[in-house]
Structure 1
Amino acid sequence: MLLLWMCLGIVVLLIVWRRALHRERDLSARLAELQAQLAGSPPGVCSQCAQARDILPDDIERFKRSQYFARIGTWDWDVDTEQLYWSEAIYGMFGYQVGEITPSYEHFCNSVHPDDRQQVRAGELRCIETGENHDEEYRVIWPDGTVRWLRETGNVIKDAHGKAIKMMGVVRDITEEKAWANQLHSMAHQDALTGLANRLVLEQRLSAALEQARIQRTRVALIFLDLNGFKAINDSYGHAAGDQVLISTAKRLKNLVRTADTVARIGGDEFVLVLEGLSSDLNIQQEIHVLCEMIIRALSMPMEIASETCVIGTSLGVAVFPDHAMSMDNLIHTADLAMYDAKRSGNNQYRLGSQLGV
C-alpha cells in the first residue's frame, strides 16, 4: 500500500511539474518575442517599456490574464538602477497586495531569504556577464514571516554596443512542488510510522560506514533487535496500541545512540542500529555488553499504552566489522542469525556473531 501511494504521489508531482513547466515556457517564449522586438529597436527603447505596453493593450490584457491563471508573473530590471517592474501576479508571491509597495531591486533583495541572497546575486551576475539563462530557486520571507519558494528564470537584454542594460524574466511560486518533493523523499527514505530510516537508507549508510571503517581502520557494530511480547499487545489492545509501542521504542533507541549513528526500522517489530567509528583498540566484547544491557534496560521500562501499563522484552543480535564479517551482506546475515539465537535463549538476551562460530 505504501509503495502504491508513493507511485501515485510521484505521478501527481510529475503532472503538476510538467504543467507548470509548460506554462513557464509559454510565458518565456512571449518574453523572447518581446526581447527580439526590443533588440531590433533603436537604442534607448528598453527604457520606455511602459510605452510599448500601451501600444498593445489587447495583448497585454490577455498576457495578464494568462499570468493570473498560471500563477506566473513577469519582471524586468534595469541593471544599472533600482528600477524594477513586477506584473500584478508577482505582488502576491512576495506577500503584498497589488500596488501596496513600489517594487525596487533593494526591496526584492531584502525579501529574499538571507541564506539565499548570495546565490541569487551570483546567478544574476553570471547572466549579465555571460548571457547564460538565469534560472534560480530561492526562498522569500513575507512581511508576516511566511516563507515561500520561488523559481525565477530570465535573460539579459543588451544594447547595440553589447552592454547589458536590462534583465527580463518570469517567476512562479513552487512552494507546493517543494512540499511534494520533500514528502516523496520522506516516503522513500523513512519509515512512515516511526520516522526512522528505512531498509534502503540503512543499507546506504551501512555501506558508507564500512567504507569509512576500511579507510580509517575502525570498527562498525551492527545490532539487529526484535521485540518480545509485541504480538500479544497487538492482539489484546489492537494495532493502534501496537503502533504506539513501536513509536515509543523508536524514541528510546534514538535517545541511546549518538547523532552520527543510525537507527532503522526494517519491518514489523524489527529494528537495526549501526554504530560506526568504533576504535580498533576497544575491548569490543565489553563495549557491546554495556551497550546491549543499556538497550535492554531502556526498552524494558513500562509503557503507558491504551490506558494500560505494558512491558515488552527484546532480543539482540550483534555483528562487528571486521571482527565477525568483512562484507555488508555477511555482516547483516551474521547479526540476523545472532538475533534469532538470542530469541531462542529467552527474553532480554543478546548474542555476538563470535558466539555463533562464524
Structure 2
Amino acid sequence: MHDAAVQVLDLGVVLLNAEGKIEIVNRWISSHGRLSPSVVGMSLVEAFGDAIDPRLLQVVDDALNRGRSNRLSHAFHPMPLPLYPLRGAAIERIHQSIDVSALSSSAGRQCLLQIRDMSETIRREALLKLQARQLAEELARLKQAQEDLARHSLRFREMARLAPVGLFETDMQGRLTYCNDRGQELLGLNFPADLGSNWTSALAAEEAEAFHRRWKAATESATRLTEEFQISKGRDERWLRLEAGPIRDTNQVPVGFICTLMDVTELQQRAQRHEHRANHDNLTGLPNRGRFEQRLRAALAGAQSLSGELAIVYLDLDGFKAINDEHGHAAGDQVLQQVGTRLRKLLRAEDLVARLGGDEFAILFPEAPPEKDVNHLLSKLSQSISRPMTLALNGTHASVQVGCSMGVARFPRQGEGIDALLAQADRAMYEHKLSRKRTDDDISGFIDQLNGMKGRHA
C-alpha cells in the first residue's frame, strides 16, 4: 500500500496486522481521531481508548481470525470510533460508515478499515426529509382548498386556478410537455405515450377543433384562457374546467402554458337543476310563466326581424274546481299532470307548452301554422283533454273529466308587442269560456224544459 497516496485520501484508512496492531494510519484518521504519530504498533483500544464500539472490535476479530469482511453502516452503528469534526468546538462524534476487509499477504492475514464521514450525508437526508414533510403539508393544504372550491367558487377563484387537481404543461402549440397523474386521469391520457401530442386530442373532434381556435387566440396574445368543456370516457360524461396561463422565460417571452383542470360535473349538474327549478313548474315539469314569456320575447324578436308569424294560445280548464272540491287537491294535481302530458304529446318539438299557474296553460307556436291547421290542432287538444282520466285516490280509483276553453292571438295580425298578444289571447280565452257556458246553460235549460213537459204529461 502506497503510503503517500493513502495520506491524501478523503477518508480514514487503518491497516492492522495479524496481531491486531496498527501498521498504517493515514492523516485523515489522525486528524479526526486526534491521534499522535506514535499509534503505529498499538492496538485499536490502545490508540483510541475504551470509547470504541465493541461491535467494531468483534468485526475486526472476525476479519483477522476467520477472514470475514463486513460493514458497519451509519444507519445502525453511527459512531463506532471516537472521531470528531475538524472545525469548530464540536464534542459530538461524527457519523461514520466503516468497511472492514480481511486481507491476505505474505506476512499473514491483515485487516483494512476504511472509514467514511457520513455527517454531511445525514445532514442532507435530514434536510430532504424536512423538505418532504413541508411538501406533504403544502399538498394537504392544497387538497383542502380543492374541497372548499365547490362551496366558495367565486371567493376562491384564484385558488381554484392553483389547486393541483390536474396539472399539465404545453408548448405554445399545445403539445404536452408534462402532465401529472390526476391530469392524465381526467383527460384519459397515457404517459409517456402521449407526451408530445396535442392535449386536445383527448377531446371529441368538434370540441377539439373549437378549442384549437380559442387556444390559438390565447397563444397569439399570451393571455389567460378559461374554459369549461365536456369530455366522454366510455359512458361517463364529465364536465372539466380549464384555466391556462402563459409560462415566460427570463426575458418574459411566452414559451408555453401551464394549465389546471378541475372536475366541475357536480357544479354543472347542480346549476342545471337550479335552472330547471327556476324555469319550470314543479308539479307538471312544464316551463313556468317566466320561462314562457322569456321564450315568447325571443320568438317575437325573431319573427319581427324575419317578417314571420307566431301564435300563442291561452288554455283554461273547465270543471277543474269541481274535481278539487269533490276529490281534494291531490286529485287536482293528478289532473294537471295528465293534462300537461296530453298537451306535450300532440305538439311539435319546436312548440312550447307551459303552465302559467292554477289550471291555466299556454302554448307558443314560434312558426305559426296556417289558421286552419291551428284550429284543427286545438280541436284535437280539446278532444284529448276531455277524455276521461283515471285518478288514484287513497287506494281507490276515480274517473273524472274536464273540458277546456282556449284563446288564440297571432303576430302580427292581433298585436305586435308581447303585452298586446298576451292580453288578446286572454280575452279570446274568456270569450270562448263564456260562449261555452252560454251553450251549456242553453242545453241545461232545454233539458229542464223537457223534464217539465214530461212531468205535466205524467
TM-score, length-normalised on structure 1? 0.68
From 276, 280, 297, the counterpart of 2:383: 297
Q: Report the equivalent of 1:83.
A: 177
Supply the distance in 2 between the matched residues of 1:148 and 1:139 (Cα, whole angstroms).
6
Contact 1:84 1:103 in 2 (8 A): no
From 290, 294, 304, the counterpart of 1:204: 294
From 310, 335, 339, the counterpart of 1:249: 339
Q: Report the equivalent of 2:240.
A: 150
Q: Report the equivalent of 1:112.
A: 203
Instruction: Give 1:92 shift.
Output: 5.8
Q: Report the equivalent of 1:275.
A: 365
Relative to structure 1, the CA distance from residue 92 to residue 288 in structure 2 (aligned partners, 3 Å threshold; closer, same or farther) is closer
Supply the distance in 2 between the matched residues of 1:70 and 1:267 (Cα, whole angstroms).
44
Are 1:335 and 2:425 matched, yes or no?
yes
Query: Structure 1 or 2: larger helix share?
Result: 1
C-alpha distance after superposition, 1:2-41 (max 9, x if no partner): xxxxxxxxxxxxxxxxxxxxxxxxxxxxxxxxxxxxxxxx
Supply the distance in 2 between the matched residues of 1:120 and 1:265 (Cα, whole angstroms).
39
Are 1:220 and 2:310 matched, yes or no?
yes
Contact 1:314 1:347 in 2 (8 A): no
Secondary structure of residue in 2 paired with 1:196: coil
Tell me, which stretches of 5 or more residues in structure 2 are unaligned?
A: 1-127, 147-162, 440-458
Q: Report the equivalent of 1:12.
A: none
Secondary structure of residue in 1 paired with 2:367: strand
The structure with the largest alpha-carbon Rg is 2
Q: Report the equivalent of 1:309.
A: 399
Segment of structure 1 superposing worse, 122-131 or 189-198: 122-131
Contact 2:279 2:288 in 1 (8 A): yes
Q: Report the equivalent of 1:170.
A: 260
Q: Report the equivalent of 1:24.
A: none
Relative to structure 1, the CA distance from residue 94 to residue 243 in structure 2 (aligned partners, 3 Å threshold; closer, same or farther) is farther
Instruction: Give 1:178 shift.
Output: 1.0
Supply the distance in 2 between the matched residues of 1:348 and 1:95 (Cα, whole angstroms).
69
Instruction: Give 1:290 shift.
Output: 2.2
Contact 2:315 2:404 in 1 (8 A): yes
Contact 1:137 1:150 in 2 (8 A): yes
Q: How many residues align?
A: 288
Supply the distance in 1 between the matched residues of 2:325 and 2:382 (Cα, whole angstroms).
23
Q: Which amino acid in structure 1 is aligned with residue 386 of structure 2?
A: S
Contact 2:176 2:199 in 1 (8 A): no
Relative to structure 1, the CA distance from residue 103 to residue 169 in structure 2 (aligned partners, 3 Å threshold; closer, same or farther) is farther
Relative to structure 1, the CA distance from residue 300 to residue 110 in structure 2 (aligned partners, 3 Å threshold; closer, same or farther) is same
Q: Report the equivalent of 2:219.
A: 128
C-alpha distance after superposition, 1:171-223 (max 9, x if no partner): 22211211122122212222222222221222223233334444444433221
Q: Report the equivalent of 1:44.
A: none
From 105, 128, 140, the counterpart of 2:231: 140
Instruction: Give 1:170 shift.
Output: 2.5
Secondary structure of residue in 2 paired with 1:318: strand
C-alpha distance after superposition, 1:249-281 (max 9, x if no partner): 1222122222222211100110011224337xx
Are 1:187 and 2:187 matched, yes or no?
no
Relative to structure 1, the CA distance from residue 314 to residue 150 in structure 2 (aligned partners, 3 Å threshold; closer, same or farther) is same
Supply the distance in 1 between the matched residues of 2:212 and 2:179 (Cα, whole angstroms).
18
Supply the distance in 2 between the matched residues of 1:113 and 1:139 (Cα, whole angstroms).
9
Secondary structure of residue in 2 paired with 1:258: coil
Supply the distance in 2 between the matched residues of 1:82 and 1:218 (Cα, whole angstroms).
51
Q: Report the equivalent of 1:262.
A: 352
Q: Which amino acid in structure 1 is aligned with residue 368 of structure 2?
A: L
Contact 1:315 1:347 in 2 (8 A): no
Are 1:63 and 2:63 matched, yes or no?
no
Supply the distance in 2 between the matched residues of 1:109 and 1:321 (Cα, whole angstroms).
47
Supply the distance in 2 between the matched residues of 1:66 and 1:103 (Cα, whole angstroms).
32
Q: Which amino acid in structure 2 is aligned with residue 68 of structure 1?
A: K
Secondary structure of residue in 2 paired with 1:136: strand
Q: Which amino acid in structure 1 is aligned with residue 377 of structure 2?
A: L
Relative to structure 1, the CA distance from residue 153 to residue 211 in structure 2 (aligned partners, 3 Å threshold; closer, same or farther) is closer
C-alpha distance after superposition, 1:54-110 (max 9, x if no partner): 995344323321232233425232428643231x654664589xxx96684549545
Q: Which amino acid in structure 1 is aligned with residue 311 of structure 2?
A: A
Supply the distance in 2 between the matched residues of 1:176 and 1:262 (Cα, whole angstroms).
29
Relative to structure 1, the CA distance from residue 348 to residue 215 in structure 2 (aligned partners, 3 Å threshold; closer, same or farther) is farther
C-alpha distance after superposition, 1:268-322 (max 9, x if no partner): 110011224337xx5x3x4453233222111112222213332211111222333
Relative to structure 1, the CA distance from residue 58 to residue 114 in structure 2 (aligned partners, 3 Å threshold; closer, same or farther) is farther
Q: Which amino acid in structure 1 is aligned with residue 350 of structure 2?
A: A
